[in-house]
A and B are shown apart, each in its own frame.
Chain A
Amino acid sequence: MINVKYFDFHLKGKNPDSDLALINEAKRLGYHGISIFYSNEQYNLALENFNKIINDETSPTHLKSFKIDEFSITPGIIIQGKNPHHLQKQIRSLRNKTNILMVDGGDLKINRAACENVKVDILSRPYYKRRDCGLNHVLSREAAKNNVAIELCFSDLLKSRNSLRSKIIAHFRDIIKLQRKFQFMLLITSGARTIYDLRTPQDIMALYRCLGLKKEEILRAISDSPSFILDYNQQRKNMVVDGVKIIDEK
């Protein structure tokens, strides 16, 4: 049997205690890695905190990702762009600071700027506060071209009720339909702030199967795509252009 590695690629960091509780709970539920997102201001503090938790004196202090017993923790930065120009400025300044860069979507111009930027890893919730799913064929094609993953956040389903929940499910279906046609990366995440928002990978899979995704597609979204983003970002600094990278002979 193939051993699948499950990742939860969007946890919301708050303070050291709650972050540690989230990490421990995710580990208990069977995840192999998580990514915790902070705003730009909180990010440095979070890195210091992780260095203290891991308390490994042999590891260098400039680490951007951590490991506890094969459980990987990758802190990331979430950008809330006011307009496309502001967003691009933020991306340029923060890209080298972190391993994972996520853009909070919702506004159509922000969605487009994020999909067109190869430096962005994840576009989070393009459907947020919208009447449509926030993506069309043009944005989907750009997202696929630039390796920008589109996130479907479970906490949006969890925190909504009745008609709002059904609209979010409809947006999810629209995104899934576009994904099948244009083959951009899809990410299924929990968006958890507390341990009460986390679910086991099998529960998440069961829920998304109810929404119409196939088992292989779900596995791609919670296992393969996160692994690809992590690997891609480790090699990003060596990449000259897409398809060309500098190989260290040593």
Chain B
Amino acid sequence: MKLKILPPTLRGDKRYLAFETISQIPLPRDDLIFMIWESCLKFHGECETSKFRLWVTRSWDLNSNNSKKDHFQLKGILQCNRGDEEKVRGALCLINSYKGKKLVFHTLGLAGTIKSATQKFIKPSP
């Protein structure tokens, strides 16, 4: 049986970080999540990271099927606790390698809803 969802007043506040990654090899979603958690755990420790409530809500693979590219780009939205955005951002920018290849995380921006994060930073309307 599924638990009934909490009323909005009892739910914690969230913020959505839009990010992009540029890597030398393609980056699967599972590894992306692992790297975000690993970086936060290493930089802030277990106790502090437990407050962040991290969740990768969506990701967009921006590469076509061309395997001869020298770098691969991916965009995504990361949900985190309101008030801890700076700490998450700080931890994300310390990620620099994946399976021995170079990788970089750039935070594109911060929004209050998934919709606005997508519209503003992922797929900006002309």
Q: A residues within 8 Å of B by Cβ?
A: 29, 157-159, 162, 194-200, 202-204, 206-210
Q: Which residues of A contact B107 (CB under 8 A)?
A: 200, 202-203, 206
The reply on B30 being an interface residue by CB < 8 A is: no
Alpha-carbon gap, A15 to B90, bound state (A) = 30
The reply on B36 being an interface residue by CB < 8 A is: no
Q: Is A210's CB under 8 angstroms from B86's CB?
A: yes
The reply on B33 being an interface residue by CB < 8 A is: no
Write the nearest CB–CB distance from A197 to chain B, whole angstroms. Answer: 7
Interface residue tally on B, bucketed by range: 20 to 34
Q: Is A210's CB under 8 angstroms from B87's CB?
A: yes
A210-B90 in contact given A196-B22, A196-B103, A203-B107 (Cβ < 8 Å) = yes
Residue of B nearest to A210 (CB): B90
Q: Is A198's CB under 8 angstroms from B89's CB?
A: no
Q: Is A29's CB under 8 angstroms from B102's CB?
A: no
Q: B residues within 8 Å of A by Cβ?
A: 22, 24, 42-44, 85-87, 89-94, 96, 102-107
Residue of A nearest to B107 (CB): A203
Q: Is B22's CB under 8 angstroms from A206's CB?
A: no
Q: Which residues of A contact B44 (CB under 8 A)?
A: 210
Q: Is B90's CB under 8 angstroms from A197's CB?
A: no
Q: Is B89's CB under 8 angstroms from A203's CB?
A: yes
Residue of A nearest to B85 (CB): A206
A195-B106 in contact given A157-B94, A203-B93, A210-B87 (Cβ < 8 Å) = no
Q: Which residues of B contact A197 (CB under 8 A)?
A: 96, 104
Q: Which residues of A contact B24 (CB under 8 A)?
A: 196
Q: Is A203's CB under 8 angstroms from B96's CB?
A: no
Alpha-carbon gap, A203 to B43, bound state (A) = 15
Residue in B42, B86, B96, B104 whose beta carbon sits within 8 Å of that of A206 in the complex: B86
List 30 A-B pairs, Cβ < 8 Å: A158-B96, A159-B96, A162-B42, A194-B102, A196-B22, A196-B102, A196-B103, A196-B104, A197-B96, A198-B104, A199-B93, A199-B104, A199-B106, A200-B106, A200-B107, A202-B89, A202-B107, A203-B92, A203-B93, A203-B105, A203-B107, A204-B93, A206-B87, A206-B89, A206-B93, A207-B89, A207-B90, A209-B86, A210-B86, A210-B91
